[in-house]
Chains A and B, each alone.
Chain A
Amino acid sequence: MNLEKQKQTPIFSALERFRKQRVVPFDVPGHKRGRGNPELVELLGERCVGIDVNSMKPLDNLCHPISVIKEAEELVADAFGAAHAFLMVGGTTSSVQGMVLSACKAGDKIILPRNVHKSAINALVLCGAIPVYIDPKVDKKLGIPLGMEIEDVRRAVEENKDAKAIFINNPTYYGICSDLKALVELAHEFGMLALVDEAHGTHLYFNRNLPVCAMAAGADMAAVSMHKSGGSLTQSSILLLGERMNERYVSQIINLTQTTSASYLLMASLDISRKNLALRGEESFEKVARLASYARDEINAIGGYYAYGKELINGGSIYDFDVTKLAVYTRDIGLAGIEVYDLLRDEYDIQIEFGDISNILAYISIGDRIQDIERLVGALADIKRLYAKDVTNVFISEYIAPIVAMTPQKAFYSPKETLPIKETVGRVCSEFVMCYPPGIPILAPGEVITKEIIDYIEFAKEKGCSMQGPESPDISQLNVIMD
């Protein structure tokens, strides 16, 4: 990484130059630097609406970058150790779709763990690829899906030598990492692409003590959520390419679904965040790791909670652990994670990332301060004091192996009917069901509905998880394929 060059911010600087020129706009957007929408200016401020501008020669064009956006992308590639990088404005969902659509077309197989984000399966609906799922091992106590074990993947690869790619989710929401290098080598051994969903891993590129990142492991593509740990605006993301990829083709794929009016607010935020990461990432994430580790120790000292860390590492399904993640197992105080999540928000004015059946996840980042950590720990201690219950009704595992009856695309577009959920056992589902967050499907289009799955959905609903996916808003009904 060229540190001198990383001090530059080509998009941000171009916007500054443009602002000073005071160009009279006879182009879109129609709010014309906010003058046509005073309330918006009141909300966002003049500086913000002033740079909400259209693509034009001095500002380049994201669909076909030749000047400042191209430079910004080259700087991203340099900072992340990639052969090529794309700035993305459709969230990491668009980066994930870019990967899957670049690797597969209709009828191609792709090997992926079941605990992928819905964006990956949505990409399969778009392109018609066939998923070959690998059961992620589940930690029996914590109820969380783990990483991919090499032997499982090798078995799947050998049984599906025609597969085009292996899709790896690393690190998981909970901070679990797989043996990324070995997985990439395995993919390459069989001529497959290694695609990495690194939505929760931007910071891995900028701190030497954290688990290995996708580009360093030799992956072919990685979808990186800059807006999560990287500090850019929500919805901005990047897609990284390794040496083996043809960036012209990937660019065409991205342009199939990408907006032609990319927001300069998002792109400028990527530009600035990349600079900050390159120049200060090492120390920033050192601090984040320190805060998370302090929080873990303090939470574990309360008793009854289990904030897990590197002690989970087992050489296989938990090959490494991202210590910046703060996930806490709550069942030993008799409360589901989602119950603690709700209490934190409703009673203590603390919003955490998510709560699932057994865990909560608090997102620790470069914006956190020690006094906020103290509030979180203090609130957890108070929740234990006031709300702890006897431990009952332990739901052993959250992972239910799917039975794939047809491709997600075929299921999505097949004729379907709507049935009360209780009457759907044995039928093929045509829609997603998931708790959001984390947005990992319980059912995906094309999968057989079982009694076990319905019980799980009912349990999650009863505990207050936010359920998403189906047409029926209260998940009392499901769409299934007509027999």
Chain B
Amino acid sequence: MNYWFSEMHTDNVKMSIRVENQLFSKKSDFQRIDVFDSPEFGKFITSDGSVIFSEKDEFVYDEMIVHVPMAVHPHVKRVLVIGGGDGGVARELAHYEEIESIDVVEPDEMFVEVCREFFPDNACGLSDPRVSVYYQDGLRFLRNRCDEYDLIINDATDPLGHTEGLFTKEFYGSCYKALHDDGIMVYQHGSPFFDEDEEPCRSMHRKAFLSFPISRVYQAHIPTCPAGYWLFGFGSKKYHPIDDLDISRWKARNIKTWYYTVNLHRGAFMLPKYVEDLLEEEEKNKKII
């Protein structure tokens, strides 16, 4: 049988994964969710036809979005994860004993159920006693929060799909407000390589740059992302992602990782020239608040 899942990365570029089986397919109020089993990537889950993560490469993403801020911020007690219904981010956060509470806000209950069923290695993160799951819109959850969190992780991936609201100025503004005075926010920053994706990527940086005094971008290699290349944003009120990186403290934790290292941490902020250029252009273009 010759059975392929394909995702259009642009009108002219298609990524295809050979599929053994389709395990699940259903429409929720927010998206169509499909789960496939594949020889190369193991099981993977898609939202409206776009890969959200696969068993094979989710570690890159979950480690990079959690360990980077955690190695910088000296005392994280309260964490908010927006999206993140699969539990992978919570699983990585659970390594840190000083964290007291992890609020996971996911609008789509069906997404969480599907992940619990098909991706137990991720979803186990949601079973940590410090985790509370809220089935709510992220923007709504944040609206009345003020000075409550040390770290906010925006785990939503798609600035053009049903999570569009989590890539807006009001979202970054609400996060800023919900963070303590030394809080950090990390978020998915998209992939800048293809022309179609460049503008959303620019616009995210523009909004974050205006909202946070320290706004840096770091990168990772994630095979199922467009062009295999993905950026993360690091918005911070006080701590600098490299100057405040505490190498010995992080090493002393002895957290087992497959992608993240403190060396890679520093390297990840060293961006290709074209990415640096487009980010700097947006910083210069900033509008006055």
A interface with B by C-beta (< 8 Å): 298, 301-302, 346-349, 369-372, 374-375, 377-379, 381-382, 385-386
Contacts and interface: CB of A to CB of B under 8 A. Distances in A.
Interface of chain A, main secondary structure: helix
B169 A382 contact: yes
Nearest to A294: B140
B170 A348 contact: yes
A374 to B, nearest CB: 4
B168 A385 contact: no
A371 B30 CA distance: 9
Interface residues of B, number: 21
A410 B148 CA distance: 67
Interface of B: 30, 107, 137, 139-140, 142-144, 162-165, 168-171, 173-174, 177, 287, 289
B3 to A, nearest CB: 30
A377 B169 contact: no
Given A385-B177, A386-B289, A375 B139 contact: yes
Identify the interface centre among B143, B164, B289: most chain A CB within 10 Å of its CB: B143
Contacts of B107: 371
B170 A379 contact: yes
Nearest to A375: B165
Contacts of A379: 168-170
20 contacts: A301-B144, A349-B168, A349-B169, A371-B30, A371-B139, A371-B162, A371-B165, A375-B164, A375-B165, A377-B140, A378-B139, A378-B143, A378-B170, A378-B171, A378-B174, A379-B168, A382-B169, A382-B170, A385-B177, A386-B173
A375 B162 contact: no
Given A371-B107, A377-B139, A348 B169 contact: yes
A320 B169 CA distance: 37
A385 to B, nearest CB: 6
A374 B168 contact: no
Given A374-B140, A385-B173, 19 more contacts: A298-B140, A348-B168, A348-B170, A369-B162, A370-B137, A371-B139, A371-B163, A371-B165, A372-B165, A374-B165, A375-B170, A377-B139, A378-B139, A378-B140, A378-B174, A379-B168, A381-B143, A386-B173, A386-B289
Contacts of B165: 371-372, 374-375, 378
A360 to B, nearest CB: 15
Nearest to A347: B169
Nearest to A376: B170
Contacts of A385: 173, 177
A22 to B, nearest CB: 29
A374 B137 CA distance: 7
B161 to A, nearest CB: 10
Contacts of A372: 165
A385 B175 CA distance: 12
